[in-house]
Amino acid sequence: MKSIAPDFYLLPTLLLSERLLGKIFVTWQGPGTPLLKGRIVETEAYLAEQDEASHAWRGRTQRNRAMFGPPGTLYVYFSYGCHYLANIVSEPVGSAGAVLLRAMEPVEGIAEMERRRGTRELLSLMSGPGKLTQALGIGPEHDAQSLSGPKCWLEDAPELPASCIGTSPRIGITRSTALPWRKFVKGSPHVSKTRGATGPKKGRNLLEC
């Protein structure tokens, strides 16, 4: 499977958030370490403008400077004093739109992911934005890194049919909550679990993809 060309990221943020679904995110810590791969099954778009929930809403700061970098750059930041969250910067250049990676399906290097996460529950390895960064070993050293490698990159995969992509409001935010900018692969058991009014109910609405 080949690495995705840099111009793939030259897309409006909302469109990129859908196209990223199904792609394989890869990290590599260096010689002697296994490749860690996950299939992206859930994303959220954070736009440069008209989006109060975006870190870029109030302009450029020391923390969010990577959001203003070129498309295909990673923006990694520390949240709630405990977790790193990873975003992929989109087009247009300098406008600070980015896509938050919320959940993946483990693909390769699972034993190493289990060690990093401290669990062998496959469905708990990467089913949340803080979990997947821990499983993949993403930290502050990945902030502002390019997805052209060598520490991390994306492998291409066939584009998902629109019928497999679900949409909902974003999770865990307190502003601009009504915007339906969360995208996920319908039927995947690896999407993040929301608290409260959910839980896999019997009548699964979702198709297998």
Partner DNA sequence: GCGATGATGAACT
Partner DNA sequence: GTTCATCATCGCA
> Least distance (Å) from DNA to the CB of residue 113?
12
- The CA–CA distances, whole Å, from 154 to 4, 85, 172, 205 equal 6, 17, 26, 30
Residue choice 129, 137, 146, 181 for contact with DNA (CB under 7 A): 129
The span from the CA of 26 to the CA of 24, in Å, is 6
Q: What token pair was written down for 165?
A: 């992509």
Residue choice 13, 17, 27, 54 for contact with DNA (CB under 7 A): 54
Exposure b/e, 69-101, CB count within 10 A at least 16 = b:
bebbbbbbbeeeeeebbbbbbbbeeebbbbbbb
> Least distance (Å) from DNA to the CB of residue 170?
7
Nearer to DNA, 125 or 163 (CB): 125
> Least distance (Å) from DNA to the CB of residue 31?
29
- What are the start-end ranges of the E strands in 51-132? 74-79, 83-89, 98-108
Residue choice 2, 30, 31, 58 for contact with DNA (CB under 7 A): 58
Q: Is 78 in the site for DNA (CB under 7 A)?
A: yes
Nearer to DNA, 46 or 153 (CB): 46
Q: Residue 152 — φ and ψ, nearest 5°? A: -155, 150
Let me know: does 122 contact 107? Beta carbons within 8 Å.
no
Q: Is 79 in the site for DNA (CB under 7 A)?
A: yes
The residue range among 13-21, 32-40, 47-55, 144-152 that interacts with DNA, by the rule CB under 7 A, is 47-55
The tokens 């970098």 sit on which residue?
69
Which parts of this chain interact with DNA (CB under 7 A)? 44, 46, 53-56, 58, 61-64, 67, 75, 78-83, 85, 87, 98, 100, 117, 119, 124, 128-131, 170-175, 192, 195-197, 199
